Structure 1
Amino acid sequence: MAQFLRGKAAAAAAGEAALRASAPAPWRRTASASYHHTLQAVPRETAGPRAAARERRHGRVPAVLLTLAGAAPGNGIAHRQLLTADRGQLAEMLKQSPYFLSTPVRLQVRAGERSNAIIHDGTVLPIKVHRYGTGNILNLVMVKANEGTMLKVDLPVEFKGEDACPGLKKGGFLQKIRTSLVYLCPAEHIPPKIEVDLTNLDVGDRVLMHDIPVHPSLKLLSKNETMPICKILASKPIEPVE
């Protein structure tokens, strides 16, 4: 009887082990709504093209987390941490947020794929997502975005008020000259986008870089702040025939 009970207990233990082995790693579980707001990652030990290719074959994206040497701009990089993120989660976050590269996100780094131990939990700014020509994600670069840290951010420009624009109502044409602007921003005041209001523009009007209202802590990084972002033309320019 005792031998029977020991055998039954051993079988149950083996079954539990199999369930644990087949369950997804804690950093890949998607039941929580925070899946779309917190990027999950684990450390990787090796760099180089072969190691990166191996990560991609297993459905992961090689990533790098940069820590700046100080809060002031131009201090350089103090530390690089090699990470790997789940490709499916990263693709979903990119899909959900059109301003992913100008929006600080929460990064949670676990000790390993099967570990619940968290070794880093903080805010980071994604600054680069490299892709293949097919659109597949190649790798990700992030920087620690602690409060007070000055970061150079390429902010996308979004035009609003086209339906109410007097110049466009007259049949004018909106010439979009810049689709993004580069600002030096403190980590706590990074806007996801720069909005250009067209509601009061007539034919012949233009919006210049220094016309855009932003938080006073932001500094426009441009050699010529009087360059136009957009113009309202009387008609669409004729494209030259090649």
Structure 2
Amino acid sequence: MLIRRAAAIPRPDLKYDETIHAIPRDASGKSSSAKERKAGRVPSIVFQAEDGQHGGNKRIISVQSNQVKKLVNHLGHSFFLSRLFDLEIRPEFGSSEVVEKIRVLLRKLHLHHSTDAVLNVTFIRAPSSAWLKVDVPLVFRGDDVSPGLKKGSSLNIIKRTVKFLYPADIIPPFIDVDLSELDVGQKIVAGNLNVHSALKLLRSKDEAVVKIMGAQVSDQRKSK
């Protein structure tokens, strides 16, 4: 993705936090899921492990459609999927009784292809002992002072997220990428990202995530 003077790059809101409310669901399947959606609820599932098979402790639940939609709209799809949430399961929505409180990571979000209605949500449990694969969003900063961008060059954003294996307690909501010293032709690779030392990069450390491209031909002619 090429961006001129990266002014339109989104900035996430770190202060936004919310507990996701849920209720138990007795049955699964297409018919049951359709009834849940008609009632304004989203059929969901909580898995114990990444592959959904080991450790048991699987729960089928429903969450509130309007709450999930609000979170997706506010945070954006990538930031929503990289965020840890507390999930409170209650006998019914509005009840003060908490059946179970779980820390979870969003694993999958299924939206309707034309309306963006939330169809399904998959969570995985995120206890302190867990190591989780996370596509962490990148947030690009310093574009206003980048030497290359000041010369009229373009910012080529190659990756919007980078996959890491993280201990659950230190999963970041995003990774800062500092563009303030990048000049024309320079790039930042995955191995140069400023992240916690405990993480494990799950792609080549030499893979570029962003690069300052050369000035456009029209700009070069003007400078002569």
TM range (shorter): 0.7 to 0.9
Among 107, 112, 120, the residue aligned to 2:87: 107
- Answering whether residue 38 of structure 2 is matched by residue 57 of structure 1, we say yes
Note the 1:37-186 alignment, pairs <5 A.
37-68=18-49, 76-79=53-56, 80-98=58-76, 99-113=79-93, 115-133=95-113, 134-186=115-167
Name the % identity: 33
Hey, what's the Cα distance between the residues in 2 that align with 1:87 and 1:75? Answer: 23
What's the CA shift for 1:127?
A: 1.7
Aligned to 1:206: 187
What's the CA shift for 1:45?
A: 1.0
Aligned to 1:227: 207
CA contact (8 A) 1:36 1:93 kept: no
Hey, what's the Cα distance between the residues in 1 that align with 2:52 and 2:90? Answer: 28
Hey, what's the Cα distance between the residues in 2 that align with 1:55 and 1:236? Answer: 53
Q: 1:63 to 1:75 in 2, by over 3 A?
A: closer
Point out which structure has higher relative CO (alpha carbons under 8 A, 6+ apart).
2
Measured on the aligned residues, the alpha-carbon RMSD in Å equals 2.0
Write the letter of the residue equivalent to 1:180: T
What's the CA shift for 1:115?
A: 4.3
The TM-score, its normalising length taken from structure 2, stands at: 0.82
Hey, what's the Cα distance between the residues in 2 that align with 1:193 and 1:91? Answer: 20
CA contact (8 A) 1:63 1:83 kept: yes
Hey, what's the Cα distance between the residues in 1 that align with 2:17 and 2:175? Answer: 23
Hey, what's the Cα distance between the residues in 2 that align with 1:36 and 1:61? Answer: 20
SS in 2 for 1:175: strand
Q: Which consecutive residues of structure 2, in runs of 5 or more, have no partner in the other structure? A: 1-15, 218-224
Aligned to 2:11: none
What's the CA shift for 1:111?
A: 2.2
Larger Rg: 1
Q: 1:55 to 1:74 in 2, by over 3 A?
A: closer
CA contact (8 A) 2:152 2:216 kept: no
Instruction: Compare the two structures and name the one with the higher helix fraction.
Output: 1
* Aligned length, in residue pairs: 198
Q: Which consecutive residues of structure 1, in runs of 5 or more, have no partner in the other structure? A: 1-34, 238-242
Hey, what's the Cα distance between the residues in 1 that align with 2:52 and 2:59? Answer: 18
